[in-house]
Amino acid sequence: MKEETPAARPTAAQRHPEGTHNDHSPVAVGPGLLQFGDVIAVARGGALVFIPEDAERGIVASRKIIEELANDVRPHYGVSTGFGALATVQIPPEKRAQLQRSLIRSHAAGAGQEVEREVVRALMLLRLNTLASGRTGVRLETVQAYVRVLNAGITPVVHEYGSLGCSGDLSPLAHCALAVMGEGQVRDASGALRDASEALEEAGITPIVLAEKEGLALINGTDGMLGMLILALDDLDRLLRIADIAAAGSVEALLGTDSVFAADLQELRPHPGQAKSAANMSRILADSGLIARRVSGEFTRVQDAYSLRCSPQVHGAARDTVAHAAQVARIELGSTVDNPVVTRDGRVESNGNFHGAPVGYVLDFLAIAVADVASISERRTDRFLDTARNHGLPPFLAADPGLDSGLMIAQYTAAGIVSELKRLAAPASVDSIPSSAMQEDHVSMGWAAARKLRKSVDGLSRVLAIELLASTRALDFRAVDGSAGAPGAATTAVHALLRQKIARPNTDEFLSPTITSATEYVQSGAILDAVEGAIGALS
């Protein structure tokens, strides 16, 4: 086996001064240090992590308390007893290492598809964050093993099913702990499936042998659901700005009016998210020659359909939901979630902080908001295809209607996704189911809420992509007609970006790759970059 090297400890000068990190800046993990951007940098960008010296001292101090209790004649949960409904069983000292090992092996009971790498890295980082709090009683070498596994790019294989969200995300976290013990399977830095023992040896990492309390400390947290919440917040920060871009582009290509987005109208109902969305749409449309504006002596449309006119109200409500979810996530990120915990005055106490209800609720709330933003987007797309509502555009935006079907079935795809998102908006957090011989008789289902939100966010990106396909295609027809005017700088930038891979309207061709290309522009953030490059940053 290779000689094990100490975990990297960057100097203060190597760290970002404001506490946020890019893909190459090491992330400090300890009480009060971890921020959303750090989680994204580690989960998605592969940033390295380290434990500061003051956090290490706290870890060592709390471990001494656990070691003292290990010799106590009184029972202490997780130290000298069994777990869950078996907490009444006293475990003799010579079997306590086996107790911890058996806990991890038995709880690594996941089933189904592999969970995405970014999710596993996020949940491992968040568990490390709790371990570094000095409140769990684990040994410093156990914490350092998690640091080394993350920094080596080793990702334990975690399965989609297995967590009830209480006592935390037990099974997913147990699969991670199992890998750090040198058992089970992992993906190495290249993505290859490997036995954990081989991958650890190749990286020079010594598998851990768990001591009293450690097995429980490694699995008793809400880290999986919180990790997926933070990842979703990162996605939605981008997607809700793209939703404003898509809505404004549809208003423009449908020759609508921007008067309804005026700031003084938003002040009459001062929801902060609504004001931001309306301001974004106003900026995008400010220089457009396609917008219907009131001119003396001319009759113009005074108001548009709800899906155009009410976009800031829907997008804004989603923004406010995201803001509420982010506040919950910030509290959770600064919490120590374990049972039992070592208190500041040295007590070891059982508690219920592992219950995932706070996180589960906002995950479900976000799924509702995502479904509605996608729903109004699909309704805007549909308007482009109907000659009774599209103000002079050809049926289904077809180059040769009848011979060609244009975007007819692209709208079917969007509608099918929206229908699925409505089903995914049904809350998971109300569906408690008892477990562990009725000891754990009310659970959060937060993991399930997080899994369905990830699918919802993906669906939203595809629905927005199809709307952008429709609006940019409509601009091509407007340009041929020549009578409507020129689009604004923002919409022109989006049109130019899509035309890099997507052809102008012509005889029907294989449509699925076109939708895929548009979706990639949305998911990568290229759409947002193009608009902000043209008119500046959006709210």
Query: 285 by DSSP, 3-state: which?
Result: helix
- The residue ranges of DSSP E strands in 115-164, in sequence order, are 155-156, 159-161
Please tell me the distance from the alpha carbon of residue 447 to that of residue 166, in angstroms, as a whole number.
9
The burial class, CB within 10 Å (0-12 / 13-18 / 19+), for 11 is: exposed
Q: Identify the active-site residue in 77, 306, 361, 412.
A: 77
Backbone phi, then psi, for 377, in 5-degree steps? Answer: -65, -45
521 is catalytic: no
DSSP H or E run through 466: helix 446-481
- What count of other Cβ atoms lies within 10 Å of the Cβ of residue 268? 6
Nearest to 530 by CA among 232, 233, 231, 238: 238
* DSSP assignment string, 249-264: HHHHHTT---GGG-HH
Nearest to 55 by CA among 17, 27, 88: 27
CA distance 10 to 193: 30
C-alpha distances out from residue 4 to 7, 13, 17, 201, 202, Å: 9, 26, 30, 9, 10
DSSP state of 113: E
CA 290 to the chain's CA centroid:
36
What type of residue sits at position 527? Answer: I
At how many degrees (to 10) do helices 170-180 and 96-107 cross? 120
- Widest CA span in the chain: 94
Strands 49-50 and 159-161: unpaired
CA distances from 254 to 380, 469, 470 (A): 9, 14, 10
Amino acid at 192: A
Angle at 66 between CA 62 and CA 67, to 5 degrees: 115
DSSP category for residue 440 = B
Point out the residues that are catalytic: 77
